[in-house]
Amino acid sequence: MTVVAPFGLSVRDQGLEADVQAGLAAVEEGLFEATKSDVPFITEAAQHLVRAGGKRFRPLLVMLSSQFGDPHAPGVVPAAVVVELTHLATLYHDDVMDEAVVRRGVASANSRWDNSVAVLTGDFLFSRASNLLADLGPEMVRIQAQAFERLVTGQILETAGPLGDRDPIDHYLEVLAGKTGSLIAVSGRFGALMSGADERTVDVLTQYGERIGIAFQLADDILDIASDEHESGKTPGTDLREGIPTLPVLHVRAAAERDGSPEDRELCELLDGDLTDDARLADVLARLRVHPALEQARRDTVRYAEEARSMLSGLPSCSARAALEELCDAVVHRAG
């Protein structure tokens, strides 16, 4: 069994391995080329997170989805560069909003420089992604614009919180569908479209992408609580410090409201308090790591991963489909 991607996916098909490895290598070159500027400081800031590495989950999905058409079609690699540039741009902005100090194991752009540099660098990456998109045609521009609208809407909904009597967990899953699922859905769609796959295949891979995207983010929610910095590439409890209501926390709050146990009420009070204190944060993390809510969040992650897997049943049996199915297992393993 051989590794075909940084995410840890493995297959037995050497042809697929070669295609994916070559595609991801070309994407990496494309990322560095797209982040160059005539101004050296802009290049340094724009390549800060590119050089930090990453799972390249979205480009990987583009490469695998392109296998259902012509994976060597000229638009496949640029489309993968576009989705990764867009993702990187959102990370610069997210770190400002979250006041994060670490990203992918290195200092975040906002902590290395300042918030203004981080925001403007994110904008620079968006502009470079748009420039690449213009060469891929108006349909691709429209798809990206619609996905970006969903992404921003998801961020706004997260900031606003659930309104009225909306269930907080349902609201949160809607947020994730927009914030994370939309761009990963585009990854599947771009790969299929650029390779010339038929309309039904494009639709299947789009739906698969959205569901695996939600599962991917839910796994990140769990990692924020259950992992150490070495595993996740960012400071554990970052979301907790910022008061972001991730799924394990929402399950804790639901349990406290439903059962009202003293332990759950006390944990909720701690979550509502000041978690900038390292000792207090460590106490909350320790409690969450043994709380049934964390296991419930894992079950939710598995459910979305299995929904993604079920979407693939209409595709022909082949190495690419097997790799996409294995990707579901890899996402769940992250949450394990």
CATH no. for residue 34?
Answer: 1.10.600.10
One domain, residues 63 and 125: yes
pLDDT of residue 180: 92
One domain, residues 331 and 256: yes
Position 86 in a domain: yes
One domain, residues 21 and 115: yes
One domain, residues 50 and 175: yes
SS3 letters across 218-277:
HHHHHHHHHCCHHHHCCCCCHHHHCCCCCHHHHHHHHHHHHHCCHHHHHHHHHHHCCCCC
**End-of-domain residue from the set 165, 197, 229:** 197
Tell me whether residue 274 is exposed, middle or buried, using C-beta atoms within 10 angstroms of its C-beta: 0 to 12, 13 to 18, 19 or more. Answer: exposed
One domain, residues 244 and 191: no
The pair of structure tokens assigned to 8 is 């840890």
One domain, residues 234 and 134: no
Position 208 in a domain: no
One domain, residues 282 and 221: yes
pLDDT of residue 303: 95
Residues of the chain with pLDDT below 70 are 1-12, 95-96, 98-105, 107, 109, 228-235, 335-336
How does pLDDT run across 89-107, given as a tens digit for each residue?
888 877 667 666 666 667 6
CA–CA distance, 172 with 290 (Å, rounded to integer): 22
Position 249 in a domain: yes
| 320 SS3 class | helix
One domain, residues 159 and 275: no
Q: Which residues span the domain enclosing 177?
A: 12-197
Residue 258 CB partners (closer than 8 Å, separation 6+):
none
One domain, residues 29 and 122: yes
pLDDT of residue 135: 94
How does pLDDT run across 194-219, given as a tens digit for each residue?
999 999 999 999 999 999 999 999 99
The two most distant CA atoms of the chain are separated, in Å, by 60
Q: How many domains does the chain fold into?
A: 2
Position 204 in a domain: no
pTM of the model: 0.88
Position 279 in a domain: yes
One domain, residues 260 and 127: no
